[in-house]
A = this chain, B = another copy of it.
């Protein structure tokens, strides 16, 4: 059986993710963490992010821009993705648990969960661009 041992790198990764309200990619987080731990490797960041996801302590977001993003908030909520700047942000929209049941009625299998991504242009880009 495999036990979990403490590592300050893992603590730092989780602390850093909790402190940010954007939803950084592994590489963006790696850049942040190097300020405190200049020798940390990208592999370690990936390994710990995956571990934290498995432990249910953080969440992985796949919003379609190529790289996965990470979110320290594991409570059910939805995300907004700006098609102009790529920024990923939280939506203040109450979780619609009932749509799992709705989906279940039309499904042959077992529906456990769902994700929703909203796409559009963020306030900042609306003002500055086009």
A: residues with CB less than 8 A from B are 60, 62-64, 68, 78, 80, 82-83, 91-93, 96, 99-100, 102-103, 106-126
Contact A116 B115 (CB under 8 A): yes
Q: How far is the CB of A42 from chain B (nearest CB, A)?
A: 18
Contact A109 B125 (CB under 8 A): yes
CA A71 to CA B119, docked complex, whole Å: 19
CA A108 to CA B122, docked complex, whole Å: 7
Of chain B, the residue at the smallest CB distance from A108 is B123
Q: How far is the CB of A127 from chain B (nearest CB, A)?
A: 10
CA A93 to CA B98, docked complex, whole Å: 13
Contact A126 B102 (CB under 8 A): no
